[in-house]
Amino acid sequence: MKSKLIVILLVLMLAIAGCSSGSKSNTPDDKIATINSMLSKGYEMSDNQLNNVNKAVEEAKELISQNKIDEANALLKKTINTMELIAETDRFNKSE
């Protein structure tokens, strides 16, 4: 009984550790892939929003080439947040 309890506890600890590591990567390339994936889903957005997203990705790539990784990550994170809002708005509009 004691060994089963220990095994269950270890499994739970491993599961929690796996979840807490986060599924979102911190590399700019992974963030760009996330943005591209979100764009491919075809969320309804204005031309201005699409241009701003594309411009932000291009600026981030330029920052990466200048080895300004933290700045690129911040810009890409902001862009992902914007895309998440666009996706939520699209879902809301389609549910009406």
Number of domains in the chain: 1
Indicate whether 48 belongs to any domain. yes
- What is the residue-wise DSSP string for 9-49? HHHHHHHHHHHHT-SS--SHHHHHHHHHHHHHTT----HHH
- Tell if the pTM clears 0.85, that is, is over it: no
From first to last of its 96 residues, the chain has per-residue pLDDT tens of 667 767 676 666 666 655 544 445 679 999 999 999 999 999 999 999 999 999 999 999 999 999 999 999 999 999 999 999 999 988 888 876
Q: Which domain holds residue 67?
A: 24-95
Neighbours of 52 (CB within 10 A): 14
Indicate whether 19 belongs to any domain. no
